[in-house]
Structure 1
């Protein structure tokens, strides 16, 4: 049972209904097991909030298992926040504040389900997870970042490890 729970929390297709929101992707870190979740911010009619298309929050996996908490000001502005721009009807360009090199495009797939499209290892993919490996000597510095998603062309898991300059 524990194995199933661990496996499920790191499955690439981690989209699930979560309080009236739909999980687009999450960030896991080497520092601890807590997750930063990015959920589609929709109203009761299923319409995406054009001012704030994603709700971002912590899920505690250590001290207070499962507890949800908002990001603080510093976390939003320096680490886990995002900027968004509506580029079409129901389409948003998302720029993560700490990883602006690649944009995430929130859009509907052929079945009408939202996804976060991004290029991973040269292939279009639906982003499911970002893992951040902190430097052992300074957890505020990043050794590498790994993107994981589902390839849009073949449905296979695709990953890419990025080492910052």
Structure 2
């Protein structure tokens, strides 16, 4: 798990294409689908070597009240298996893609990925739209997360070789789209 701990006109066009076209891995040529139609979707995670996607969803009851014991539900959309929805298995939840939540205050939780603790994630209500979102500070910028991408090249099941982690979302200070990469 250690390795997971892991504007000129031209620049503007490059950033625009990164943010508004379907994500594509330049090396493998894989075009990653963007999940849609998921109620209360917070953000999603994609990684090599396939298009299967982990979706992180606000966990609310039928009345719309937040489950404070487990505020985030994570599950797969298995695009490689006809878009079937599947729960994370025990190993995926406990050692890789699962999140734990600690309540810090009313409507504020710190989230921790099972496999990555170098970046702090927070679930809280946005002052702008009064809805819950997940936030992280990357490269000195606070992002409202939309997508996390893990670039993996080789390694093993238990210790994949993560080349970088890419965070995509909205810069909360400027309200503009932002993409930031972190090396493991």
**Fold match, TM over 0.5?**
yes
Deviation at 1:58, TM superposition (A): 0.4
So what's the TM-score if we normalise by structure 2?
0.76
Q: Root-mean-square deviation (CA), in Å?
A: 2.2
Deviation at 1:65, TM superposition (A): 1.9
- Show structure 1 runs of 5+ residues with no match: none
- Residues in 1 aligned to 2:64 and 2:173: alpha-carbon distance in whole angstroms: 27
More strand by share: 1
- Residues in 1 aligned to 2:120 and 2:155: alpha-carbon distance in whole angstroms: 30
- Show structure 2 runs of 5+ residues with no match: 1-19, 24-31
Question: In the alignment, does 2:172 pair up with 1:155?
Answer: no
- Other-structure match for 1:22: 40
- Residues in 1 aligned to 2:156 and 2:149: alpha-carbon distance in whole angstroms: 17
- Other-structure match for 1:113: 131
So what's the TM-score if we normalise by structure 1?
0.84
| Higher RCO structure (Cα 8 Å, ≥6 apart) | 2
Indicate how the Cα distance of structure 1 residues 137 and 87 shifts in structure 2: closer, same or farther if over 3 A, else same: closer
Once superposed, which parts of structure 1, at least 4 consecutive aligned residues long, lie more than 6 Å away? none
CA contact (8 A) 1:104 1:116 kept: yes
- Residues in 1 aligned to 2:123 and 2:47: alpha-carbon distance in whole angstroms: 23
CA contact (8 A) 2:33 2:51 kept: no
1:16-165 matched pairs, under 5 angstroms: 18=38, 21-62=39-80, 64-110=81-127, 111-136=129-154, 138=156, 140-164=160-184
Aligned pair count? 154
